[in-house]
Structure 1
Amino acid sequence: MPIESTSPRQIWHVGFIVDQLEPAMDELSAALGLRWADIHHIKGQHLEGPAGERYLLETRVVFSLDLPLSIELIEPSPGTPNVRRGDSAFHHLGYWSDDLVAEEQHLDGLAMPCVAFRVDDDTDLRRIMLTQGPYDVLLESTNVLTSRPGLEHFYPKEAVQ
């Protein structure tokens, strides 16, 4: 069932751009008692822009495992949308959606245009979409219909995987 544009979105993670994962993980673990998934190396994958741009990702990311909200740490990938936005490490709010094309149309109507998206290799559906949100923060729509190995416990209970 598609999410109606007026229904609240289920935010499942917040993303931060950090210079190095391990020191940031150590600091947040010490402060908040967080546990972390395995570090994911992203090499040779692309984000696509709405005008046909292609951004080559060469980075590492990691998600905290603790519910209800995960923290995603991302090392910057120069020349892509995955860089710091101003002085803050805060980069994006990630939430679930079951139709990223409809979500793009909805947000574009609110003057929050698509910045980039990634297509899932197995389904040809958009896997994620980054949109220019308010306050110079990106919104990351995550498709509940595509698999995110290692992050299954964050999916909404009603999601089909």
Structure 2
Amino acid sequence: MNIVAPTARQIWHAGFIVDELEPAMDELSAALGVKWADLHTVKRTLEGPGGAAWELDTRVVFSLDLPLSIELIEPSPGTPNVRRGDSAFHHLGYWADDLMAEERRLADLGLPCVAFLADQTETALRRILITQGPYDVLLEATSTLTSRPGLEHFYPNGGSR
């Protein structure tokens, strides 16, 4: 039996749920020296399997430092964007070209879709795919085909898509 190892995914961020962005940014800047992109307000519908939908109303910010960005997210009660247990750690984000194929691949491994966010400009594309990962950690596949203004330098190959 030949077992084919999967291609390694390029992890580009680690997401944390924090009560308030500004104090968390200050604390991490003091401890690690990281710099931050502009804060973004997210008011979007997060979709899930079986027609589930959640209204996100939150703020997020990414550190600008390479090779791994820190994403801070204020919780959005009643959605998947809340703390998972006592830890602020929420998900690992990685790049993928085809989120529909990635969803099928992960489902075959027993890692089901939790939620996804459609691209605002290209309705046939998903912007992110959130799946249940091992060890109760969420995995967030980020499409290389959709734009993330201000975060271009994190894209594979230095932002050239």
Q: TM-score, normalised by structure 1?
A: 0.94
Looking at structure 2, the residues matched to 19 and 121 of structure 1 have their Cα atoms a distance apart, in angstroms, of 27
User: Contact between 2:29 and 2:35, CA under 8 Å: does it hold in 1?
Assistant: yes
Looking at structure 2, the residues matched to 26 and 158 of structure 1 have their Cα atoms a distance apart, in angstroms, of 28
TM-superposed CA distance for 1:66, in Å, is 0.4
Which amino acid is 1:132 matched to? Q
TM-superposed CA distance for 1:111, in Å, is 0.8
Residue of structure 2 equivalent to 1:76? 75
Q: Deviations along 1:89-131, whole A, 9 cap, x unmatched?
A: 0000000000001100010011100000011011120100100
Sequence identity (%) = 72
- Are 1:42 and 2:42 counterparts? yes
TM-superposed CA distance for 1:142, in Å, is 0.1
Kindly tell me: are residues 158 and 24 of structure 1, through their superposed partners in 2, closer, same or farther at Cα, counting changes over 3 Å? Answer: closer
Runs of 4+ in 1 over 3 A off after TM superposition: 158-161
Q: Give the number of the structure whose residues are more often helix, by fraction.
A: 2
Looking at structure 2, the residues matched to 24 and 33 of structure 1 have their Cα atoms a distance apart, in angstroms, of 13
Residue of structure 2 equivalent to 1:10? 10
TM-superposed CA distance for 1:63, in Å, is 0.1
| Structure 2 residues without counterparts, runs of 5 or longer | none
User: Contact between 1:145 and 1:160, CA under 8 Å: does it hold in 2?
Assistant: no
Looking at structure 2, the residues matched to 50 and 160 of structure 1 have their Cα atoms a distance apart, in angstroms, of 32
User: Contact between 2:152 and 2:158, CA under 8 Å: does it hold in 1?
Assistant: no
Which amino acid is 1:123 matched to? E
Kindly tell me: are residues 6 and 158 of structure 1, through their superposed partners in 2, closer, same or farther at Cα, counting changes over 3 Å? Answer: farther
User: Contact between 1:13 and 1:95, CA under 8 Å: does it hold in 2?
Assistant: yes
Kindly tell me: are residues 5 and 100 of structure 1, through their superposed partners in 2, closer, same or farther at Cα, counting changes over 3 Å? Answer: farther
Residue of structure 2 equivalent to 1:135? 135
Q: Deviations along 1:15-67, whole A, 9 cap, x unmatched?
A: 00000000100000000000000100112x11100111111000000000000
TM-superposed CA distance for 1:159, in Å, is 6.2
Looking at structure 2, the residues matched to 158 and 101 of structure 1 have their Cα atoms a distance apart, in angstroms, of 24
User: Contact between 1:34 and 1:64, CA under 8 Å: does it hold in 2?
Assistant: yes
| Structure 1 residues without counterparts, runs of 5 or longer | none
Q: TM-score, normalised by structure 2?
A: 0.94
Looking at structure 2, the residues matched to 37 and 159 of structure 1 have their Cα atoms a distance apart, in angstroms, of 16
Pairs within 5 Å for 1:139-154 = 139-154=139-154
TM-superposed CA distance for 1:143, in Å, is 0.1
The number of aligned residues is 157
